[in-house]
Amino acid sequence: MSHVVVTGAGGFIGAALVNRLLGDGVAGTPVKTLVAVDLQLDALPADPRIVRVPGSIADPALLQRLGEQPLDVVFHLASVPGGAAERNPTLGRSVNLDATANWLQWLGSHAQCPRFVYASSIAVYGESLGAVVDDDTPPAPSLSYGAHKWIGEILVADATRRGWVHGCSLRLPGIVARPGPSQGLISSFMSEVFWALAEGRSVTLPVRPEGTAWWLSARACVDNLLRAAAFDAVRLGPGRSCLMPAQWLSIQSVVDALAQRFGESRRTLVTYAPDEQVQRLFASFPPLHTPKANALGLRHDGSAAGLVSAALGAIQ
């Protein structure tokens, strides 16, 4: 039986991960206790295995509340997203960077050396992406969020070297389809187009239709996070990090797949009003090659139609 911690457990990806852990466990091992940490945990199911720890991961007192609970796997997802971190750099640093360092040191003090899966981001690459992005592309973050994530990867690798954790970092692409308000995400349009066309609402996209991005459903993302908790992270090399596979798709091709699913008339609901900063940061991506992740069994959704199906689930 596994003892698992999920930070950011009340968020879009975190809640999906919690549900999968409760159902499937980790690498075939059932979950005995799941410590869920986040500011809000209302989205989680009523399950006696969940230990709810509401609060900010940046609060030192929160770690004390966790006590001496045995830990087998930690999924560290909590963060302040890019737009919010730019507006409030103090908050961004305290949550994205300082809290990550504090958690790793706290885990080291308990001498349990759990698996530690860190949700990094493609934001580590910044704006100057070149003709292709692959395992050898060097980080060059252009936002504080990307800088925090890159430093977080280094901290995870160093904590692994010290024997505090068995760590790995996965660089997440745009994950869809996130419901509700944008919550500080500059890339929120990537999810909004899914819900708008599924519900028959008009939507204005801040990018050009030919703009390209990297896309992955929350379902496939959770699959990959769970695989990362089971594979031999030594195969990632000393940096202990890799890109999570994603599809390289134009905005138009995603709209095409949504129109195919919900009807051709939905195309008329989409208008484009490009914002040059958003276009540069989130719709000017080159092809993506992820041989390291592929060799470890990480996968994307396979096609634009597969992306739509996985991202929207049972919506007809």
Taking only the tens place, the pLDDT of each residue in 195-215 is: 999 999 999 999 999 999 999
Largest CA distance in the chain: 59
pLDDT band at 305; cut points 50, 70, 90: very high
pLDDT at 184: 58
Residue 64 neighbours by CB distance under 10 Å: 9
Task: Verify that 105 and 202 share a domain, yes or no.
Answer: no
Rounded to an integer, the average pLDDT of 48-74 is 90
Which pTM value belongs to this model? 0.93
pLDDT at 82: 79
- The alpha carbon of 165 is separated from its chain's Cα centroid by a whole number of angstroms, namely 20
Based on the fold, state whether residues 50 and 115 are members of the same structural domain.
yes
Are residues 195 and 50 part of one domain? no
First to last CA, the chain: 37
Answer yes or no: are the C-beta atoms of 137 and 189 closer than 8 Å: no
Residue 78, both tokens: 């909590």
Within 13 A of 57's CA, how many CA atoms are on the CB side?
30
Same domain, 141 and 23: yes
Identify the CA nearest to 258 among candidates 211, 191, 187, 182: 191
Q: Check whether residue 276 and residue 152 sit in a common domain.
A: no
Same domain, 156 and 187: no
- Residue 10: helix, strand or coil by DSSP? coil
- Its sign, for the CA torsion 51, 54, 60, 64, is negative
Question: Which CATH number do you get for residue 57?
Answer: 3.40.50.720
Mapped onto helix, strand or coil, the DSSP state of residue 314 is: coil
Sole residue written with tokens 């389809």: 177
Residue among 163, 162, 158, 298 at smallest CA distance from 240: 158
Annotated active-site residue in 118, 125, 145, 272: 145
- pLDDT at 181 (0 to 100): 63
Are 239 and 108 part of one and the same domain? yes
Per mean pLDDT, which range of 54-58, 66-70, 122-126 is the poorest?
66-70
Which pLDDT value is given to residue 316?
A: 43
Are 250 and 268 in a shared domain? yes
Total of domains in the chain: 2
**Residues 116-140: tens digit of each pLDDT:** 999 999 999 988 788 999 999 999 9
* Structural domain boundaries, residue 182: 175-214+246-312
Q: Do 27 and 145 sit in the same domain of this protein?
A: yes
Do 253 and 160 belong together in one domain? no
- 118 is known as an active-site residue: no
DSSP code at position 133: B
Residues 6+ apart with CB under 8 A from 71: 3, 4, 5, 107, 110, 112, 114
Same domain, 97 and 180: no
For residue 28, pLDDT over 70 is answered with: yes
Q: Are residues 87 and 231 in the same domain?
A: yes
Check residue 112 and give its pLDDT: 85
For residue 255, pLDDT over 70 is answered with: yes
Percent of the chain, pLDDT > 90?
79
- Across the chain, mean pLDDT equals 92
CATH number for position 187 = 3.90.25.10
